[in-house]
Amino acid sequence: MEKQFPEGFLWGGAVAANQCEGAAFEGGKGLSVADIAPKGVRGPYDSAIDPNKYYPHAQAVDFYHRYPEDLGYMKELGLKCFRTSIAWSRIFPKGDETEPNEEGLQFYDRLFDEIRRDGMEPLVTISHYETPLYLVDHYGGWRNREMISFFLKYCKVIFQRYHSKVKYWLTFNEMNNVHNFPFVAGGFRVAEGENEIEALYQASHYMFVAAAQSVALLHQIDPACQIGCMISTSTLYPATCRPNDVFGAYTGQRRKYFFVDVPVNGRYPGYIKRVWRENNVRLETRPEDFEALKNTVDFIGFSYYRSSTYEDGKQLHSDTGGFISDPNPYLKSTDFGWQIDPMGLRLVCNELTDLFHKPLFIVENGIGTRETLVNGTVEDDYRIDFVRQHLLAVYQAILDGCNIMGYTYWGPFDIVSAGTAQMEKRYGFVYIDKDDNGNGSLKRYKKKSFTFYQQVIATNGACLFE
């Protein structure tokens, strides 16, 4: 029998509103945390927009106006699924209003209709590093319990409005990154001298409760819809076979999987209670929070870009793609230093399956590189190779028994990077003429990899084996 992917596999592409839409001041939109982070998720963040400064997210690649053209390319690729997020501050510009912004709602009506007309199933992230800035400045973001009700009000509006157009939903993008860059992922700051660990777990608790309540709400509004959690994964290998390196790597990995453990199992695991005990963490919780947590997700969404290594005694730091570590001598890296490791993806799929027994959705994977347009295209053979190797790893994971719903390649057209807010970290199958200073015609050009991904989808993966 010819080798190919399972029938109905959701081949796709993924973006986030703040990284592609631009039009930050149009349609009644309020500012979000992304808008004032001109250097990306690790800051520095401005307190307001400085009119003399360039903010990459504010314009991005103008998807807000050019989505018919961009989705046209996605249709030509043959995508079955298109992941994007709703910019929360288009719907509730400040976040605490009682009535939503109709203009924002109409934009997503048009967008989801177009996605469907182009033959794709929308997959929508409710909150992708886009907390309304007003909620940060006036309520302290996710450190405040009141955020749960603001979030649920927003969820109710978008679920009621779009449930017949959007079947697949994700709660918080890469929720584990609240512990790595709390401002962008959770809309809050940790002051110096505070118990940082307590602040991080408190915000996470409110987010877990809000996410679980949104699961219940969606199921109640439309039982045919499915909703998943979403974390950033990356395999963390022990740097050596020293037992301390091995256990340290395991612990690092488990700290990520914790953000799946709670939404899938509906309770806090023992290893985290130990972290709380040892760090004087006293959470503000209510009995009803633990009832709410029992509303568990339908599937596990995750991003995977690279792997890292862990050596005992070293501090673990992360950025958008995972842990930052010393180079692994067995792997090559991208020109942004991300180690290319398809086997790591197979490993993550297997680990998540073994631990949680839920369908998986690979909602981000891709390669970001510096590229130059030559004769109207980019000869990106490295991207072809990256995608081929990662998809072959996904295929192996499926043979291993993992139930994988789909694969949405990250940034199928060039967008602003979350990590560094650069345009020049390009992931796309479609090149967009714009540079890091905001210059460029915004014209779109197909790269060589465009035809490759098109063929992969057209053959349901069979061409990968030729």
Residues with active-site annotation:
174, 364
| Shortest distance, position 416 Cβ to ligand BG6, whole Å | 8
Q: Residues of 343-363 as b/e, b for ≥16 C-beta within 10 angstroms?
A: ebbbbbbbebbeebebbbbbb
User: Residue 175: how many CA atoms within 13 Å on its side-chain side?
Assistant: 30
Phi-psi region of 369 (alpha: psi -120 to 50; beta: other; left: phi over 0): beta
Q: Residues of 430-457 as b/e, b for ≥16 C-beta within 10 angstroms?
A: bbbebebeeeeeeebbbbebbebbbbbb
Amino acid at 237: Y
Which CB, 56 or 321, lies closer to ligand BG6? 321
- Pick from 38, 141, 368, 428 the residue near ligand BG6 by CB under 6 A: 368
**Rounded to the nearest 5°, which phi and psi values hold at 305?**
-125, -35
425 in contact with ligand BG6 (CB under 6 A): yes
| Shortest distance, position 198 Cβ to ligand BG6, whole Å | 25
Q: Which stretch binds ligand BG6 (CB under 6 A): 51-59, 279-287, 386-394, 412-420?
A: 412-420
Q: Which stretch binds ligand BG6 (CB under 6 A): 178-186, 252-260, 417-425, 434-442?
A: 417-425
| Shortest distance, position 322 Cβ to ligand BG6, whole Å | 8
Q: Which stretch binds ligand BG6 (CB under 6 A): 95-103, 142-150, 261-269, 418-426?
A: 418-426
| Shortest distance, position 463 Cβ to ligand BG6, whole Å | 26
238: its two tokens: 């022990």
Count of residues near ligand BG6 by CB under 6 A: 15
Q: Provide CB contacts within 8 A for 17, sequence distance 6+.
A: 84, 85, 86, 87, 90, 128, 130
Can you list the alpha helix ranges (DSSP code H) found in 266-380?
A: 270-278, 287-292, 342-356
**Rounded to the nearest 5°, which phi and psi values hold at 333?**
-120, 160
Number of residue whose CB is nearest ligand BG6 = 419
214 in contact with ligand BG6 (CB under 6 A): no
Distance CA 8, CA 20 (A): 28
Which CB, 89 or 232, lies closer to ligand BG6? 232
Nearest 10 degrees: CA dihedral of 344, 349, 350, 355?
120
Which CB, 121 or 364, lies closer to ligand BG6? 364
Which CB, 388 or 425, lies closer to ligand BG6? 425
| Shortest distance, position 258 Cβ to ligand BG6, whole Å | 17
327: its two tokens: 């180079």
Q: Which stretch binds ligand BG6 (CB under 6 A): 63-71, 163-171, 267-275, 413-421?
A: 413-421
At residue 154, the 3 state secondary structure works out as helix
Distance CA 3, CA 282 (A): 53
| Shortest distance, position 58 Cβ to ligand BG6, whole Å | 16
Which CB, 207 or 239, lies closer to ligand BG6? 207
| Shortest distance, position 303 Cβ to ligand BG6, whole Å | 5
Q: Which stretch binds ligand BG6 (CB under 6 A): 24-32, 341-349, 415-423, 437-445?
A: 415-423
Which CB, 42 or 116, lies closer to ligand BG6? 42
Distance CA 446, CA 454 (A): 11
Question: What x/- string results for residues 426 through 465 when contact with ligand BG6 is judged by CB under 6 A?
Answer: ----------------------------------------
- Pick from 114, 130, 364, 371 the residue near ligand BG6 by CB under 6 A: 364
Distance CA 321, CA 305 (A): 6
Residue showing tokens 């109710």: 156
Binding site residues, ligand BG6, CB under 6 A: 16, 19, 173-174, 232, 303, 320-321, 364, 368, 410, 417-419, 425
